[in-house]
Amino acid sequence: MKIPPFVLASASPARRRLLQTVGIEPIVRASDFDESQIELSEPAELVKTLAQYKAETVAPQFESALIMGCDSVLAMNGEIYGKPADTTDAIARWQIMQGNFGDLYTGHALIDLSQNRTIVKSQVTRVYFAQMSEKAIKAYVATGEPLKCAGAFAIEGFGSFFVEKIEGCHTNVIGLSLPLLRQMLGELGYDATDFWQ
């Protein structure tokens, strides 16, 4: 089987770095899909739907490729949180998150254009947040990092200071579950090592 180019339908530098870490050098094509038009109250369904739309938006740009779309949200106390709107929103969220836990959902959609097949799955990881002072919350939000991330934190950045522990897949919290990607590639007939540069 000919190994197609691997396309990441996401502008996320963290997702790109994850793929590069395991030897996949993706072609990056941000989908620019308008997420606000999708309203679902179940987090796993929401992230799967958004991931699929992102991949499908990019797919017409290629004849033969594997297109990966992803989307992440944090679910907590029955609420679903994507990226915070602004610093005020981020501070308010951290006042709820600190000393608490949430479930980080990431949807993964993989379109194989050569086989005309699409696989869509989600992964969930439980994240436990540290008790934080108001000073620490404001200082973290002032870094700007929380404004770029679903759930208002980056476990691979300053936010790692404030994550006590996680239950489940570590890379899922960064935005792409590498074990799940390996399984999805296997379902399409590829070995993950086929993509090593």
A 10 A CB-CB count for 163 gives: 16
Q: Find the catalytic residue in 34, 71, 103, 112.
A: 71
A 10 A CB-CB count for 142 gives: 12
- Among 96, 97, 128, 123, CA closest to 109: 123
Residue 197 has which token pair?
Answer: 């540069």
Q: How far apart are CA 45 and CA 6, in angstroms?
A: 24
Q: Can 191 be counted among the known catalytic residues?
A: no
SS3 19: helix
Catalytic amino acids? 71
